[in-house]
Amino acid sequence: MPQLSSGGGDDLGANDEMIAFKDEGEQEEKIQENAFTERDLADLKSSLVNESEINQSPSAAAIRRGQQGEQRSFAEKHREHLDGVSKQQDGGMYKTPAYPGYPFLMLPDPYPSSVSTSSNKVSVVQQSHGMHPLTSLLPYGNDHFSPSPPHLPTDMSQKTGVHRHQSQDLSGYYSLPPGGVGQITPSMGWFPHSLMLGPSSMHPTGIPHPAIVPPTGKQEHDQYDRGMYVKQQVEPKREKEPKKPVIKKPLNAFMLYMKEMRAKVIAECTLKESAAINQILGRRWHALTREEQAKYYELARKERQLHMQLYPTWSARDNYEAGLSGVAGEKNKADWGKKKRRKREKQQDSNTDNSL
DNA sequence: TGGCCTTTGAAGCCT
DNA sequence: AGGCTTCAAAGGCCA
């Protein structure tokens, strides 16, 4: 989001991303669907089935792209709208937070089933995930969830190199004031183990953070449990070059939402394929109210801020050209080149499909 | 075994 | 500046 990275506007821009869904006729049907119904799931399932059938035709990809195009244009509208509204809302939300005490107070809230589902299935799945994704931010002190932490200027993150330092405030971020932890209700089955882990789970900075990823290529389910952001690269085969830990990108609002809701969707529809799940989650994301989405935008903003404080020198670029999880090296660069080429080719193919 | 799929959003790259 | 590309998570599927 431009406003997120354009000096000073960031944080506020995040919540400004909320959509006036009612402007979108398509969205109307979704508005009241906070509790995603089985009907929707069935619908999605059938649509997925249809899609798979369609996929057998050459135009399948084009159709899918068309659907994506719809969503893209919606997102763009969304952004446009928000650009217009942002100045209005700028700060307004924080001055009068829609969810005071958030995220702690929001926890019991919109997705109770995601937290305390009685279904065995759900609990198993959630255990596999380890914890509630939003817990990644739990290490924040409560004040850090206040709309505009007095000690943490919201524009701080925007001025890289100016304010991006590990200040003493960080201790405030990660220390666990008894009161703060105490406010976390026992109902939080996803309570972060990282908060209870010893230093072994700490990031080299001594600060646990959820964006640190484990060594395996695919992220382990309990990565957030470990409170680790850094991929440690301990593959035995490749011990020639001591790889520096890979710092993953902070999760955006939608990713945070996905992490939270995935288990619920899986439990509801018994689908397991992430591609299908993500389609559902994409729809549900659009069906969320502004307030609900705002939570995740705010969380994402906090994530980014925290990430920047933890890794002042990190850039998304680190994981960009390296291609393979940020591991630098000629081979990986070559792989990245191939990958890039493949994608371009694929897109060209799709373009030709469309033109036919 | 590793890439693909699929989603949205953030950020970097490129023109 | 604006458009395009990559990456972030996830796990089944397929070559």
In angstroms, rounded to a whole number, what is the distance separating the alpha carbons of residues A252 and A354? 31
- Which pLDDT score, from 0 to 100, does residue A65 have? 37
State whether A169 and A63 are in the same domain: yes
Which tokens sit at A251?
Answer: 């999760």
Q: Which of residues 37-66 of A touch strand C (CB under 7 A)?
A: none
State whether A344 and A200 are in the same domain: no
Cis bond before residue A103 (omega within 30° of 0): yes
- Please answer whether residues A317 and A64 qualify as being in contact, where contact means their C-beta atoms are separated by less than 8 angstroms: no
Per the structure, the count of domains in chain A is 2
A248 touches strand C (CB under 7 A): yes
- Which pLDDT score, from 0 to 100, does residue A48 have? 44
- Which pLDDT score, from 0 to 100, does residue A257 have? 96
A278 touches strand C (CB under 7 A): yes
- Which pLDDT score, from 0 to 100, does residue A242 have? 55
- Which pLDDT score, from 0 to 100, does residue A343 have? 57
Range of the domain at A135: 2-311
In angstroms, rounded to a whole number, what is the distance separating the alpha carbons of residues A262 and A272? 9
In the DSSP assignment, the letter for residue A103 is: T
State whether A334 and A226 are in the same domain: no
State whether A148 and A232 are in the same domain: yes
- Which pLDDT score, from 0 to 100, does residue A286 have? 94
- Please answer whether residues A339 and A323 qualify as being in contact, where contact means their C-beta atoms are separated by less than 8 angstroms: yes
Q: How far is CA A47 from CA A2, A68, A212, A279, in A?
A: 34, 14, 36, 10
Query: Residue A12 CA to nucleotide C10 C1', Å?
Result: 29
State whether A121 and A141 are in the same domain: yes
- Which pLDDT score, from 0 to 100, does residue A285 have? 95
Give the nucleotide with minimal C1' distance to the Cα of A276: B6
State whether A246 and A347 are in the same domain: no
A79 touches strand C (CB under 7 A): no
* φ, ψ at A118 (rounded to 5°): -85, -20
State whether A252 and A326 are in the same domain: no
State whether A80 and A172 are in the same domain: yes
Classified as helix, coil or strand, A95 is helix
Nearest residue to nucleotide B4 when comparing alpha carbons to its C1'? A275
Q: Which residues contact A269 (CB under 8 A, 6 or more apart)?
A: A41, A44, A45, A280
A240 touches strand C (CB under 7 A): no
Nucleotides of C under 7 A from a protein CB: 5-13
State whether A161 and A220 are in the same domain: yes
Query: Residue A60 CA to nucleotide B8 C1', Å?
Result: 22
Query: Residue A211 CA to nucleotide C8 C1', Å?
Result: 10
Nearest residue to nucleotide C1 when comparing alpha carbons to its C1'? A2
Low-confidence stretches of chain A (pLDDT < 50) are: 1-40, 45-46, 48-208, 213-228, 232-240, 323-335, 338, 341, 354-356
Nucleotides of B under 7 A from a protein CB: 2-13
- Which pLDDT score, from 0 to 100, does residue A64 have? 38
Nearest residue to nucleotide B1 when comparing alpha carbons to its C1'? A217
State whether A19 and A114 are in the same domain: yes
State whether A137 and A280 are in the same domain: yes
State whether A144 and A187 are in the same domain: yes
